[in-house]
Structure 1
Amino acid sequence: MSHARSECEDFQALAPDAYEIVAALGRAAAKAGIDKSLLELIKLRASQINGCAFCVQFHILQAKRLGISADKLNLVVVWREAPLFSARERAALAWTEALTLVTGGVSDEVYALACAEFSEQELAYLSSAIASINVWNRLGVAYRWTPPARQAAVHAAGS
C-alpha cells in the first residue's frame, strides 16, 4: 500500500500562489455559468483516467452534495454504454477524455460533438476546467494525497 508523500494542505502551504492559480482556473467555468453537476462529472472522469484517488473521492463527494445520483456516478466510467447521460453530458465527457488523453490528439468528430452542445465560450471554459482537474490529478498522484473521508470538509480549491 502506498503512503502519502505529502497532503493537499501541504502543497497549499508550500506554494500558495500556484495553488490559488490552479484553484481559480477550476472555479472559472462555474463562475461563467457551466452547470456545476456537469463539471463534477468531467472532473470525476478525468480523475478516473489519471488514477488520482484523492480527486476521484473528492469529486464523488462533491457530486453527491449536488444531488447527482449514485447510479450516474457509478456509470461515469462507462458513460458510452449508459443511457442515463444527456447529449450535453456525453459531449462533455468525450471532450474530457480527448483533452485528458491528449497524446492521441482531439479528433474532428469529438470537436464537432462538443461544438454541437457548447457555445465557443462555454467550450473554452469547459476546456479550462478540464485543464485544471488534470493539474490537480498530477499533483495528487505525484504526492499520493490521501483521499478525503466521507465527512471531510471541502477544501477551498474546488478542484
Structure 2
Amino acid sequence: MEQRLNAFEKGQNAMRAMYGVGAYLAKGTIEQELLHLIYYRVSQINGCAYCLDMHSKDLIAIGENPQRIFLLDAWREASLYSDRERAALEWAEAVTRIRDGNVADEVYKRVITQFSEVELIDLTLAITTINSYNRINIAFRTAAGGYEVGQHKAALLK
C-alpha cells in the first residue's frame, strides 16, 4: 500500500501535542521497558506495522530479550512475564478492546494490585496514546521498516 501522507511532517503542530504526552511518560514512574512492551502489544492488536517496527527496534535497543517480544501475543501462556507486566498487558488489552462500554471490574482489581492509582492513570494514558498513534499510522498508511532507534526522540524534547 502506498503512504497517503506523512502526518509527522505535515501535521507537526498537531503531533507536537502527542509528543508532549510521550515526554511526560518518559519521565514517569512506569518502567520504559514495560511501556515499550505495552506499545508493542497494543500495536499488535491494532495491526500497526509502523509501530510494531518502531517498538520492536526500541525494545531490542534497550536490551529486551527477543524471545519476550516474539511471545508477546501469547503472554498469557508464556512464563516470561512478571505479575506487574501481566497486569499491565491485561489492562492494555481491555482498554484497547473496550467491551460492553467498560473495562471489566476483575481486570481493574488485578491491575490495581500492581500499580498505584497515579501509575494506573499514566499506564492508561500510555495505552490511549499508542492507540491514537496506531490509528494515525494506519489511516495514513505510514510505511513500516525504515524506523531507526531514537528517530523521534528529538521531537519529544521540543
TM-score by length of 2: 0.90
CA distance in 2, matches of 1:22, 1:82: 33
Instruction: Say which SS state the counterpart of residue 120 (structure 2) adopts.
Output: helix
CA distance in 1, matches of 2:79, 2:39: 20
CA distance in 1, matches of 2:114, 2:132: 25
CA distance in 1, matches of 2:115, 2:150: 32
Task: Write out per-residue CA displacement over residues 99-124 of structure 1, whole angstroms, 9 at most, x where no aligned residue.
Answer: 11124421111101110000000001
Q: Does 1:100 align with 2:96?
A: yes
CA RMSD of aligned residues (A): 1.6
Contact 1:23 1:132 in 2 (8 A): no
Unaligned runs of 5+ in 2: none
Instruction: Identify which range, 149-158 or 98-107, moves more after superposition.
Output: 149-158
Contact 2:33 2:64 in 1 (8 A): yes
Q: What percent identity do the matched residue pairs reach?
A: 38
Aligned to 2:60: 64
CA distance in 1, matches of 2:38, 2:113: 17
Unaligned runs of 5+ in 1: none
Q: Which runs of 4+ in 1 moved over 4 A?
A: 150-153
Q: Does 1:128 align with 2:125?
A: yes
Aligned to 1:143: 140
CA distance in 1, matches of 2:133, 2:13: 14
Deviation of 1:14 (Å): 2.1
CA distance in 2, matches of 1:102, 1:20: 27
